[in-house]
Chains A and B, each alone.
Chain A
Amino acid sequence: MVPFLAFAFFFMILPASTLVVGAFQDSQGGFTLQHILDLRQRFILEAYRNSIQVSVVTAVVGALFGFLLAYAITLGGVPPFVRGMVITFAGVASNFAGVPLAFAFISTLGRTGIITGLFKSAGLDLYRMGFDLYTFAGLSLTYLYFQFPLMILIMAPALDGLKREWREASENLGASGLQYWRHVAMPILLPSILGTMVLLFGNAFGAYATAYALTGGTLDLVTLMIGTQIRGNVLYDPGLGYALAVGMVVIMAFSIGVYSWLQRRSERWLR
């Protein structure tokens, strides 16, 4: 117990507090709110906005699509071996992130990618039509590759947790399938659906490697900005770098807080 707590203190709490302290400290070591106020600069707000946008879009789309697939393999009446396959694929895909994932999408939908080439030979120039793998749309499409499988992995057990008795009971009471979903299943599942969505948000918001390998650091995302700040003081203000990181932690803390609150609610029924 003690070693675990010590580890948590030295490698999670302490580094985090270093950043927090740095964010509120001026160059003489006194207290200041200036760094936090400096976050209102246009290019920083833009980076936060981009990061949040990619995360929200991929979380919502990933959660929807992941839920449909989780439903298909649990209650959809497909043969058990299909379920096993999907779970394995999802396990692979949710772990196939970072640099190799970026490479895969560059080979597929990059400027010289295979699918881009296929479309081109069919007379459709994707890049002329406004698609660009190295910007918002491409990044979202790439993130979705690890987002929706995670939803499947979390939702499949939750859907399994819907007890057969509940369905039977509601049918005995004369409920239709729709009513069962509307009044029984959804209220039970909703916290875990929303919770996982929040988790996916954080998953994308904190992603660095995929974005770095895909865009080479050109897109304005908070993670990429912090990366350049670590290497050298590119913001010409160390305090601003700390404030940037603390801003991320605050957003993540908020979303994880919401997640665990929702998770506790869903655990009341799904054990």
Chain B
Amino acid sequence: MRRGSLWPWVWLGLGAVYFFVPLLATAEFSLRMQKGTLSLLAYEKVLQNREFISSFLFSLRMALLTILAGVVLIVPTAYWVHLRLPRLRPLIELLTLLPFVIPVIVLVFGLIRTYSRPPLLMTTTPASTDVLLVAGYLVVSLPYLYRSVDVGLRAMDVRHLTEAAQSLGAGWGTILLRVILPNLRTAVLTGALLTVAIVIGELTLARYLSRPAFGPFLAQIGQDRAFEPAALSILSLAMTWAAMGTIYWMTRGQQGQIGGGH
């Protein structure tokens, strides 16, 4: 079936050029802050920037809250749809597709106009605005989280696992927490890392909700400086790599069911 052909390599080569050239160019650009020599000056400036750390930690916190809220909302729902309510699947899938229908800029427009006036006033305090922000992030990452959980559930025998757990006397909470969730750990972690990658650099929601997140900080640096943006670009690429590398490392060799295979 395999005919040794050159074409796959040609496409791979083209893809590699397109993928790597901007990265290499950006890396080089980021080292050019000092005239005439290559230096790490741009990175130093970035890391010394107080706002860099504070906005990054803020975004990380928001990402973790998003994941937590996402798991609590999605895992039981997806499980229940698989087990008992397959008839609701089209509705749930429609809802998880909605974030694609509502672009982020439209979402934040709607959120602001809905929640910046009574009776649902939520934009007055930082804490309540953060709730809005996390909700927005969750909407944006919903398709990815739901899909990875759904794929995880498909890979296991939900019905038999549930029946086995029930016959051993487990309640719904136990089943979800100790049978379903451990089997979903790869799926959940994949979705979680994707969520982190999405939330950390997200600009639109944070910008219009006026929260001190990493995305708006990046955009501001981009307007004010020449070399620091390149350094920041490389740093965020490194973070994306870390997230993706972890996903790859985690999913390696343990595809499919974990619990039932023994």
Contact = CB atoms under 8 A, between A and B. Distances in A.
Nearest to B113: A18
Given A213-B219, A226-B105, A100 B9 contact: no
B247 A98 contact: no
A39 interface: no
Contact of A19 (B30, B101, B109): B109
Please indicate which of the listed interface residues A100, A115, A205 has the most CB atoms of chain B within 10 Å of its own CB.
Answer: A100
Interface in A89-104: 89, 91-93, 95-104
Contact of B113 (A19, A87, A252): A19
A120 B77 CA distance: 57
Interface in A1-57: 1, 3-5, 7-8, 10-12, 14-16, 18-19, 22
A10 B135 CA distance: 9
B62 interface: no
Interface stretch (A105-113, A123-131, A186-194): A105-113
A76 B5 contact: yes
Helix, strand, loop or mixed for chain A's interface?
helix
A230 B8 contact: no
A88 interface: yes
Interface of B: 1-5, 7-9, 11-12, 14-15, 18-19, 21-23, 25-26, 28-30, 72-74, 76-77, 80, 85, 88, 92-95, 97-115, 135-136, 138-139, 194, 197-198, 201-204, 208, 215, 218-219, 222-223, 226, 229-230, 232-233, 236-237, 240-241, 243-245, 247-248
B15 A76 contact: no
B25 A108 contact: yes
Interface string A222-255: 0100110111000000000110010011001100
Top 4 nearest A-B pairs (CB, nearest first) are: A15-B110, A206-B103, A76-B8, A72-B8
Contact of B12 (A72, A95, A102, A112): A72
A11 B138 contact: yes
Contacts of A115: 21, 25
Interface string A69-95: 101110011100010101111011101
